[in-house]
Amino acid sequence: MKNIKQTDVEIYDIIKSELKRQRNTLELIASENFASYSVIESTGSILTNKYAEGYPGKRYYGGCESVDMAEDLARDRLKELFNAEYANVQPHSGSQANMGVFNVFLNHMDTVMGLDLAHGGHLTHGSKVNFSGNMYNFISYSVLEETGRVNFDEVWEKAKKYKPKLIICGGSAYPRFVEFEKFKEVADSIGAHLMGDVAHPSGLIAAGVHPSPWPYCDVITSTTHKTLRGPRGGMILLGKDFENPWNKIAPKSGRIKMVSELLDSSIMPGIQGGPLMHVIAAKAVAFKEALTDEFKEYSNQIVRNAKAIADEMLKLDYKLISGGTDTHLILVDLSDIGISGKMAENKLEDAGITVNKNMVPFDKKSPMITSGIRIGTPAVTTRGMKEKDMMKIAKFIDQVLKNPSDEQNIIKIKHEVNEFCASFPIYEDL
């Protein structure tokens, strides 16, 4: 970063400060991870200079030969990774990937079903503060209070009553496998399409650790970071391409357009202009990394680590939504120990442990306070930590949450966390 240091010392200092934080902090936010040097280098490459509106071979700008190759590589690797016929790597985020799908499968104010935000869903699954909740008629389904798993009796009941055109499965705080097959049965019974938002478990799916959305989902969306460990961005996949059922015709030939064509048009020019070619190249790098045996082992370790933390937290008398996890994340209900999610997040951060406050199902506190925290293992697994290390992390968390007012204890734990992190160094060459 010698150039930044010379030209903009303020930003240089901010980056160095963040590097120090990442090195010395136990990163347990489920949606965060540490990208490889290769991904970081690609993201910061000269490809950021190239405008490339359109798609490979069909650009609106000249000089796109190199970036065409990069995007083709990204798409081909992604299709191989997920055994898919179609891939779009241009969405700038998972939310934009979702918007792109909605634009194809829905009309304004069509009825959609998605998991309630307070029960583990995502903002784009119908929250009223999000475009999805304002542009479409979203019907939310929930989880069972006693099990923390999707209430399929409710899903069936609401599907039959409201007849949604699209059902979304998956979420941002659901610790169990997504039940693709069960959702498909519901969707088929009412003639709805099924969309899988697999932003959180996509890396686990790619590695074969989480059940595949195929052949159940008509379309899936995802981010490219989180468990996939790539740059921040989005993607759309079709297991099998198919003619669109809305009778949208290619104007010149008169043929029925494929859904892939509609999705491409929905992203560009529908909601985006020029794609971020440096990010797309970084996505290609991450997809290549994810095709390795090492990534498969890494993904298995993520889940083993999450289960290890969950087991230890249960031994320490914490309430976990659904009683544990199948994936990379754990949702902890703190109601019984008398501390809010917001306070837990703040106190843990003081101790060098980063989590996020999170609503739990049937939460009585506001979204800015919450009764729970979400814990994830992708980032600590990237550092090389194993099950025994997770047990230590769980005890760090417990020592803070059971004594949130003991500032000297928090300082002591922060020192221990710093020493612990030093045993698992990251980005030593930066």
- Which range marks the domain in which residue 131 is found? 41-290
Helix (H), strand (E), coil (C) string for the chain: CHHHHHHCHHHHHHHHHHHHHHHHCEECCCCCCCCCHHHHHHHCCHHHHCCCCEECCEECCCCCHHHHHHHHHHHHHHHHHHCCCEEECCCCCHHHHHHHHHHHHCCCCCEEEEECHHHCCCHHHCCCCCHHHHHCEEEEECECCCCCCECHHHHHHHHHHHCCCEEEECCCCCCCCCCHHHHHHHHHHHCCEEEEECCCCHHHHHCCCCCCCCCCCCEEEEECCHHHCCCCCEEEEECCCCECCCCCECCCCCCECEHHHHHHHHHHHHHCCCCCHHHHHHHHHHHHHHCCHHHHHHHHHHHHHHHHHHHHHHHCCCEEHHHCCCCCEEEEECHHHCCCHHHHHHHHHHCCEECEEECCCCCCCCCCCCCEEEEECHHHHHCCCCHHHHHHHHHHHHHHHCCCCCHHHHHHHHHHHHHHHHCCCCCCCC
Domain match, 73 and 141 both: yes
Q: Is 76 a catalytic residue?
A: no
Q: Is 197 a catalytic residue?
A: yes
Domain match, 249 and 398 both: no
Domain match, 61 and 169 both: yes
Domain match, 247 and 324 both: no
pTM of the predicted model as reported, rounded to 2 decimal places: 0.97
pLDDT tens across 377-430, in order?
999 999 999 999 999 999 999 999 999 999 999 999 999 999 999 999 999 999
Domain match, 120 and 211 both: yes
Q: Is 223 a catalytic residue?
A: yes
Confidence (pLDDT) at 2: 84
Domain match, 236 and 178 both: yes
Q: Is 232 a catalytic residue?
A: yes
Evaluate whether residue 11 is within a structural domain: no
1 pLDDT tier (thresholds 50, 70, 90): confident
Q: Is 53 a catalytic residue?
A: yes
Confidence (pLDDT) at 277: 98
Domain match, 307 and 282 both: no
Query: Catalytic one among 53, 68, 398, 416?
Result: 53
pLDDT tens across 287-321, in order?
999 999 999 999 999 999 999 999 999 999 999 99
CATH number of the domain that residue 349 is part of: 3.90.1150.10
Domain match, 163 and 53 both: yes
Confidence (pLDDT) at 378: 98
Q: How many domains does the chain have?
A: 2
Query: Catalytic one among 165, 232, 319, 414?
Result: 232
Domain match, 393 and 282 both: no
Evaluate whether residue 30 is within a structural domain: no
Domain match, 268 and 325 both: no
Query: Catalytic one among 16, 23, 50, 51?
Result: 51
Query: Catalytic one among 223, 227, 354, 381?
Result: 223
Query: Catalytic one among 59, 184, 226, 307?
Result: 226
